[in-house]
Structure 1
């Protein structure tokens, strides 16, 4: 069931009963990237999967990651009411969740930060600047192969042609201006000085072969958060919940409940 949150600006799917659990999708994907794990989670949680601002039917915002995080804070507060909320973010969604937790300390009781970090290396920043530039000059089609490589290893892509066709189509539905704005934000982001402000328990997950947000970023993130646990998911890349749902769910056990 879809519902509109934050004064009708954020579209979200909701299912299941229990404590609220929010799933924030990545930049190169959409909320369907959680479809394989929602059926399991909705047995224990009221699972809320929003489309981040500018994606799908959620209204875009201007002003960078801070404004995106504030909009999502509105959505989380409205959907969760007074109940403690768990927020899980993958990739860009992880950066949004982290920024939200820094700016709104009361917003989440627990955080799961999957394949993200607090800041990119200079080569990582340059990759975002290049994607923004090429997409501006030639359109999203020109960087689709690069985007898919950041999500999945070539061997995985070869073995799952139907999934890759679906993921390419999902990426090409992204609003180009929203994509470029997010690339610009991530290219300059540095949340490391603010990590100590995040007092809630955090589970930091990363795919062993993640090229978009390499494992050293997750190691640095976990080291900077006061109450963090780090788990590396073997054989996976940037979206482990799609690549290996069983492994991803296994990594969450013991932390969510």
Structure 2
């Protein structure tokens, strides 16, 4: 069932009982990207899956990534004491910024396919997506967006999923998307990683072209207490592409004997 957080500004689905586990989605997707892993995780956790500010029924916020992180920090606090936060892609950058700005906000952090800073080529990709979408609309970059989420062969093998994911992307508020692209193009959190004191699991799909494995290696190396796992055969949203493999990668860090989908 859905519940409102952060003074009614954040809409989230909530299911299960136990330790709070908050799942933050990527920029090119929506909270449905967690649909395959939320049910099995809810057997052990109270799983909260928000729509990030400006997505779905969550109210947008001004002030860049820091303001988004602050808004989501309110959500995590309201989700309950001892929360664990998992962020994928843009959600991972939000989670990392949140952990830096709000020490102690979570007991553990899982950063899937994100990083602390992009290369110049990565920054330019965001600038291009922002400018083209502003000039021609999101449809003009929908192929680029899908290619950043999934490898071409996976797209060919899963046409129905790709139709669903493309439709989800096209529902994104263009101004929210462009602001997020601008924020990510200018982001560099590398000098602040030492402030993240909680244990962190860094995950990345080996085929991720949006946030390549090199970014996750750099991220894990800069964090005081981090473990890195590379997920074979996956791109930017491994929890959707290979949920069983993704859950297995989480198992030891979350203390799960078996979290595979039923």
Fold similarity call, TM over 0.5: yes
Match of 2:247 among 222, 243, 249: 249
Match of 1:217 in 2: 215
The aligned counterpart of 2:164 is 166
Query: Which residue of structure 1 aligns with residue 53 of structure 2?
Result: 53
Q: CA deviation at 1:106?
A: 1.3
* Residue in 2 that maps onto 1:33: 33
Let me know the Cα RMSD of the aligned residues: 0.4
Aligned residues, how many? 255
| 2:70 paired with 1:70 | yes
Unaligned runs of 5+ in 1: none
**Which secondary structure state, in structure 2, belongs to the residue aligned with residue 255 of structure 1?**
helix
- 1:158-205, CA deviations, whole angstroms, 9 ceiling, x for partnerless residues? 000000000000000000000000000000000000000000000000
1:242 & 1:44 partners in 2: Cα distance? 20
Runs of 4+ in structure 1 displaced over 2 angstroms? none
Unaligned runs of 5+ in 2: 256-262
**Deviation for aligned residue 1:79:** 1.8
Q: SS at the partner of 1:27?
A: coil
Structure 1 residue 248 displacement after superposition: 0.2
2:108 alignment counterpart? 110
CA distance in 1: counterparts of 2:79 and 2:37, whole angstroms: 20
Find the counterpart in structure 1 of residue 16 from structure 2: 16
Show the counterpart of 2:230: 232
Q: SS at the partner of 2:85? A: strand
Normalised by the size of structure 2, how large is the TM-score?
0.97
Query: Contact 2:104 / 2:198 at 8 angstroms: preserved in 1?
Result: no
Matched, 1:205 2:186: no
> Secondary structure, in 3 states, of the residue corresponding to 2:235?
coil
